[in-house]
Structures are given as structure tokens and as C-alpha cells.
Structure 1
């Protein structure tokens, strides 16, 4: 199956978000084999930026993106427009794992994800990262894929 995903070029605000995530991980990492090796930054609809860092644990501790989502919520951000994760030690921007993609789709279905794409970095709508996804909400539970959603 070949799915053509629309990719937008990064804006200046997107580049600033990447830099915020890089600063978080570089300031708080504990090395190659550490517990804190990925930083994330999320931009709220009002332009504020909230950050997080992963908490590695063999049971599946939270990824940096999920920590950033929680931090944004704790600081009053309800609508989020973009998110990015950056690896420590110069690894650069990383795409979200499958669990993060599903959480982003379920809780912030309008968010754009900054990630590596052919030729550099791009911005992709979360729906495009989970084609044919089943969505979930606290009110409706799981709902089947609908091509006309969004």
C-alpha cells in the first residue's frame, strides 16, 4: 500500500519548537544509557510552548511527548497545534512511537507533528500518521475509522 502523506514545510514557529525541545533534552539528559534521553515541546493554540522529557522504565515509562502533553494541560493549555521530540547527543528530531501517535490522535486530533521526512524535516497532520485508525474518546469509546473525519 502506498499512502501519499501531505507534508508541510516548517514555519519559523516550528523551528523554534524544535529548538525548545533540543534545549530541554540537552539541559536535562543523563547520557546515552540514561533515563532521560528525549525532550519534547508542544505549542498551544495561543502560542505558548510547554516541554517534557522522557522517563525511561522497563515497564514502558512515559515518552517525552506524553510528558509534554501533561505539562501543557497542567499549565492550562487545552488546544495544542504542534509537537516535536528531539533525541539527546545530537540525534535530532524523532518521529513519535505508535502509542504516542494514538494518544495524540485521541486527545488532540487537530495537532501537527514535526518529524523527519525525505529531504529534511516536515510537519504532518496526526491523522496522516495513523491511516485507517480507530479513534477513542472518554465519551464515545472506540469508534471505527471514518474517511470523512477531520
Structure 2
């Protein structure tokens, strides 16, 4: 766990969240950094059927933009809500797709801290570790 290891990443998500205005369909922004320093951003798409969270949108955008392996991600709420921890679905997706990723979450006293995604899901099922590889 590290204390706000990436202020620029938090700033990118915060600035995007501030531009969302009062649109209730887009209320959270996320930003992720790859190993080469590239930052990819995205916003959630609220829908009553369970539209994707901002973190999942960023995962797709990273692939579309040719980003390398993601090393860090953060989500920020609109209307000044600040850094938000990922929901359970996002935690599982992040663990399955980028098991080494660091997630920025709210820290003590209003700060931000970095946590390995595995620490957000102790004793969890890891999809990649339970896949059959080839015929038996």
C-alpha cells in the first residue's frame, strides 16, 4: 500500500468527472495508466439493465487505444465526490484481467492510497487460475 502514488492520474479522472455536469447517465470518471505511462480515461454509462462502470469502460478504451499492460487505475465521482473504490464486479474484472494492477482508493483523512487489486478481494476466485489449458 502506498500513499497517493500517482497524483497526475487522480487529476486526470477528477478533471473528467468535473466535466460531466449534471448528466445522471454519466456520474463517474476513471483513468488508468499503462506501463509506458500512457493514460486512458472513460466514464460510466448508467442504464437500468446494468450499464458498465467507468473502470470497465477504461479497460475497453485501453485496448482500443493500444495501451500496454495497465499498472494503475482510479475512479472519481462527479459533483466533487472524489476518489471512489471500485464495486465488486469491477474488482473481480480488474483482478481477472490485470492481476498486478494497483487500485487507488480513498485513504485515511481524505487522502488517496494505492492498493494491489488482490488486497481488495482476499480469498477470491481468480478466473485465470481455474481455466483448463488444452485437452485432458
Q: Scaled by the length of structure 1, what TM-score is found?
A: 0.82
Residue 146 of structure 1 aligns with which residue? Answer: none
Secondary structure of 2:95's partner? Answer: helix
Q: Does 1:75 align with 2:69?
A: no
- Indicate conservation of the 8 Å contact 2:21/2:79, yes or no: no
Q: Quote the Cα distance in structure 1 between the aligned partners of 2:130 and 2:79.
A: 41
Deviation at 1:78, TM superposition (A): 3.2
Q: Which runs of 5+ in 2 are unaligned?
A: none
Question: Which segments of 5 or more consecutive residues in structure 1 lack a partner in the other structure?
Answer: 1-6, 142-150
Of structures 1 and 2, the one scoring higher in RCO (CA 8 A, sep 6+) is 2
* Paired residues for 1:1-150 under 5 Å: 7-11=1-5, 14-27=6-19, 29-31=20-22, 34-119=24-109, 120-137=111-128, 140=131
Secondary structure of residue in 1 paired with 2:112: strand
Shift of residue 108 of structure 1? Answer: 0.2
Q: Distance in 1 between matches of 2:64 and 2:87?
A: 23
Counterparts in 2 of 1:73 and 1:112: CA distance versus 1, 3 Å? same
Instruction: Find runs of 4+ consecutive structure 1 residues off by over 6 angstroms.
Output: none
Deviation at 1:110, TM superposition (A): 0.5
Distance in 1 between residues matched to 2:36 and 2:50, nearest whole Å = 32
Residue-pair matches, total:
131
| TM-score of the superposed pair, with normalisation by structure 2 | 0.91
